Amino acid sequence: MSRIGKQEIQIPKGVEVTKSGDTITVKGPKGVVTKIFRDDILIKIAEGLVTLDIKRNDKFSKSLWGTYASHLKNMIAGVETPYQKKLILEGVGFKSEVKGKQFVFALGFSHPVIVSIPEGITATAEKNNITITGIDKELVGSFASAVRALKKPEPYKGKGMRYEGEVIRRKQGKKTV
């Protein structure tokens, strides 16, 4: 049984949750998030509460129960206060800047790396601090991880792109005799 799925989800004031078919739309002061859910889980919206229940008592439905509850909580929280990920770019000569709807990185390669910013995300780059903000938690996290994957931090000097607060385990370098 899902402990997360059993809980009722409160809908705060200023947030509107609607269901049409398999699609659930959450509207709030910061924007609109839409997601398609399978029909294995019964989602009921009434009087400022969202409740979830399983249709069939099989393993797959039980696994979706808590997952869908978490998705709904994240959608409701995102339209109230946007999600934010911060990345730090360390290394001599490493640079980042935003030009229009694209990131332009100088990561030590022979060419600049250009990454387009997806719709629904705002990104800023001051010096070597990159901030990615949006109302969809899944989109913000996946874009931040895609940007970080361009130049992962290396263990000897710590150069590369890392999340704010991430600790890089350092290795000892060569030993001289």
How does pLDDT run across 22-48, given as a tens digit for each residue? 999 999 999 999 999 998 899 999 988
What the chain holds in terms of domains, given with CATH numbers, is 3-80 (3.90.930.12), 83-163 (3.90.930.12)
Report the pLDDT value the prediction gives residue 176, as an integer from 0 to 100.
78
- Cβ atoms of residues 70 and 63 within 8 Å: no
For the entire predicted model, the pTM comes to 0.90
pLDDT in tens, 49-108: 999 999 988 899 888 999 999 999 999 999 999 999 999 999 999 999 999 999 999 999
DSSP per-residue letters across 28-72: ETTEEEEEE--TTEEEEEETTEEEEEESS-SHHHHHHHHHHHHHH
Report the pLDDT value the prediction gives residue 114, as an integer from 0 to 100.
96
What is the distance between the alpha carbons of residues 147 and 160, in angstroms, rounded to a whole number?
11
What is the distance between the alpha carbons of residues 63 and 35, in angstroms, rounded to a whole number?
18
As a whole number, the mean pLDDT across the chain is: 93
Candidate from 1-5, 39-43, 86-90, 160-164 with smallest mean pLDDT = 1-5
Using 50, 70 and 90 to split pLDDT, how confident is the model at 1? low
